[in-house]
Every structure is written in C-alpha cells, then in structure tokens.
Amino acid sequence: MFVYADHAATTKMSDAALKAYTMTAEEVYGNPSSLHSAGQRAKEVLTACRERIASVLGADAREIYFTSGGSESDNQAILSAAYAGKKKGKCKLVSTAIEHHAVFHTLNKLKKEGFEVVLLPVGENGIVSVSDVEAALGDDVALVSVMLANNEIGTIQPVEAIGALCKARGILFHTDAVQAVGHIPVQVDAIGCDYLALSAHKFGGPKGVGALYVRRGAPLSSLIEGGAQERGKRAGTEDLPAIAAMTAALEASVSDMDAASALLKHLQDKLIAGLETIPHCALNGDRTRRLPGNVSFCFEGIEGESLLLLLDEKGICASSGSACTSGSLDPSHVLLAIGRVHDVAHGSLRLTLGTDNTEAQIDYTIAAVKEVVDYLRNMSPVWRDLREGRRSYIL
Ligand SMILES: *Cc1c(COP(=O)(O)O)cnc(C)c1O
C-alpha cells in the first residue's frame, strides 16, 4: 500500500490548481508588464488573483505581494521590519524557539548584524505563552514574529492575543502562516498582524510560489532589485500560471475547509489512538490546539531515521522531526523546545495527513509503525538497557 503522509512537507496539486495552471499557461502567456493586449490580459488575470487572495484573507488587494514562497515571504517581512526599526533605534526582535528555519535563520543573520534576538520558550504543549510575549515587549522592539501553526508538531499559537498586544504598543507583528492558510481560518484583521507569509504548495498549489500580506503603512523593502513588478517591491516577471493555480487552490481549500477539517480530525484521532498503544511513546504538542491531520510522536529507544527508512520500504512517506541533514546530528529544535531530551527527540515521527488519506491507510500505518518500532527496539542496545533496568525510561 502507498501512503503519502507528509502533507506538511508539501501537497499534491489540487485539481482546481492544475486546471488553473494549464489554462493560464496555455492561454494567458503574455507578460503582465507588456502594454499590448496579450500583456494586458495577463495583467487583468494577475489583478484578479491578487483580489481573490486578498478577499480570502480579509485583506485589501494592495496589501498582497506575490513571492516565490514561504521562505522568501518570511525573509522579506522580517528584514523589512528589522531594518526599518533600526533606523528608529529599535534593535530588538522577539520570536519563539519553535519557528521554521526561514524565520529562525533570518533572525540569526540579523543577530550577527547586531540585533538583539529574543527567542521565547514554549510550554511542554508546544505553545508560547502570551504573558511571556508581553513581558518581552518594549520601546526597543522592532518586530515580533510568531508562527501561526508549527510545521513539526502542528501546534496553533495564540496569534490573535499576541497581535492585540503588539497593536496596542505600535509594534510590528509578523506571522508565518504557511502551515495554517488553507487549513484553518486565517483572517488578517482578527490576527492583527502587519505581515503574514503563505506558501501555495502547502495547500494544493504549485511549489515555488507564495504571497506576503503587508498591512498598509508597514515598512517593506525589496530583496530582489530589477523591474517595477509588485509595486517595486519584488522584481521579476510574475509566474502567472503558478499565481493562478495558487489562487484556485486557496479558494478550493477554503471552500472545502469544514469538511476537510472534520475528516482530518477523525483520521488524526484514529492514528493517535492507534500509535498510543505502543509502549513508551508520547504525542508531541498540544492534543487539541493542533492542526487537523498533524500527528507527531516520539518513541523511546529508536532512531527516527531508521524508522523512516523502514516505513518507506512499506510504502509510507513520513517525516522525522529531526533535522539530521547535511551531516548534522542535532535533533529538532522544536522537539528540544518542548522539553524532549536528545535521545528521545531522535526517535521522532511526523505523519501529516491529507484528504486523500483513507481509514484503510490509517489502519495500515498503525500496524506498520508498531511492527517497525518493535523491530528497531529489538535491535537497539539502548532499548535492551532500558528493558534490563540499566537505564530508566523517560517516556
Ligand atoms: C514550508 C514552510 C515554510 C517555507 O515555505 P516554502 O514555500 O517551502 O519556502 C515556511 N514556514 C513554514 C511554517 C513552513 O511549513
């Protein structure tokens, strides 16, 4: 059986998106900056997409900037606010310990440039405390950046309360909403954010396209110099087929949201209940305040990488929370932030579901994870030490 359970990494393009993509690529190939009729037709489509995306988010079309995706949007928002703040003597940036690398590494770059970066801790449930955010605010803060929903453990952050705090103090607020948009309701005024990043491929759109919402009046500088596209803030000929596909995907996922969310919650509950029958494991992140379809676990006494490879042999595409790429053996900063010790954090598994997943796939996945965890534990010297009492269980 083939089970794609890595929707937080990327999704398959939806039918609506594919249709919009091919239709636009075939028929609307003019350059929106060209003055002739083919260009003007493309410009009309571009304008309509901007309006439709703005409408879904409760924004004004002039507040939507098309980008190459979530990473670019995060970078542009954070750098714009930081450099604008610096000119006014505000050199402090407040964020959390569980942000995506697109935020985390941008903050690190600014830290090297002399900014003070405060990364607030999260509770064991993977949620930042509003009073911690409040305590970190002051006249020297250029930007607060708190993600809407976490990509590893799915926890939903109290962004509305944080937005209200920032607004009351006139502090700019950015939220990385890449995991949330298209999956849970997202309205820029309810959140009270000045910047919001989204990415098409996380909600059934194509890869390499996204958007940045920027509230009118909030500072915005460009990362890419060139033509005057996107009101001079993002040079480069617009990828109109991708933008049209992103727009169609967003509308489709929003109109299907209630049904999708109910189905995903049902599959998620079933998967969590099934995996919890495995001894010495723990669900990562808050049980209820999490994205529908996100299931993240740590299993004691195993290595997440081996688990992934063996699941892949059984046709299951999953992810581990750990960032063991490019030779780094550091476990995920998110799992460490919720208090998992190194050894436990290494035994992580993230399964993120989509509406194509079925009950039968969930049953199959539960059985496969049980079998593989058992197999790996039987080979693990750490597990033998635990069983024979030379080490004590943490989970
Ligand atoms: C995927 C993701 C990103 C990066 O988006 P890209 O479009 O892949 O650059 C940023 N933040 C979060 C939370 C994500 O899940």
The DSSP bridge pattern shows strands 316-317 and 172-176 to be unpaired
352 CB near ligand 1 (under 6 Å): no
Q: CA-CA distance, 182 to 57, in Å (whole number)?
A: 10
CATH 1.10.287.110 fits 15-254, yes or no: no
Amino acid at 39: G
Closest C-alpha among 201, 191, 211, 257 to residue 49: 211
What is the per-residue pLDDT for 326? Answer: 44
Residue 324 annotated as catalytic: yes
What is the per-residue pLDDT for 330? Answer: 79
| Burial grade of 298 (CB within 10 A; 0-12, 13-18, 19 or more) | buried
Q: CA-CA distance, 371 to 15, in Å (whole number)?
A: 35
Angle, vertex CA 327, rays to CA 322 and CA 333, nearest 5: 30
Which residues contact residue 390 at a Cβ distance below 8 angstroms, ignoring those fewer than 6 apart? none
**Where on the phi/psi map is residue 375: left (φ > 0), alpha (ψ -120 to 50), or beta?**
alpha
Hey, which CATH number is domain 256-387, 3.90.1150.10, 3.90.850.10, 1.10.10.10, 1.10.357.10? 3.90.1150.10
What is the per-residue pLDDT for 329? Answer: 67
Per-residue confidence in pLDDT tens, the chain, 395 aa: 999 999 999 999 999 999 999 999 999 999 999 999 999 999 999 999 999 999 999 999 999 999 999 999 999 999 999 999 999 999 999 999 999 999 999 999 999 999 999 999 999 999 999 999 999 999 999 999 999 999 999 999 999 999 999 999 999 999 999 999 999 999 999 999 999 999 999 999 999 999 999 999 999 999 999 999 999 999 999 999 999 999 999 999 999 999 999 999 999 999 999 999 999 999 999 999 999 999 999 999 999 999 999 999 999 999 986 555 544 567 899 999 999 999 999 999 999 999 999 999 999 999 999 999 999 999 999 999 999 999 999 99
Pocket test for ligand 1, best of 67, 202, 319 (most atoms within 8 A of CB): 202
153 CB near ligand 1 (under 6 Å): no
Amino acid at 390: R
Closest C-alpha among 252, 272, 172 to residue 216: 172
69 CB near ligand 1 (under 6 Å): yes
Closest C-alpha among 180, 182, 105 to residue 147: 180
Residues of the chain with CATH 3.40.640.10: 15-254
Task: Strand 281-283: give its sheet, edge to edge.
Answer: 281-283, 294-299, 348-352
Residues of the chain with CATH 3.90.1150.10: 256-387
Output the CA 315–ligand 1 centroid distance in Å. Answer: 25
Amino acid at 384: R
Which of 166, 298, 317, 324 is the catalytic position? 324
Contact 78, 110 (CB under 8 A): yes
Pocket test for ligand 1, best of 7, 11, 71 (most atoms within 8 A of CB): 71
Contact 336, 342 (CB under 8 A): yes
pTM exceeding 0.85: yes
**Neighbouring-strand partners of residue 141:** 92
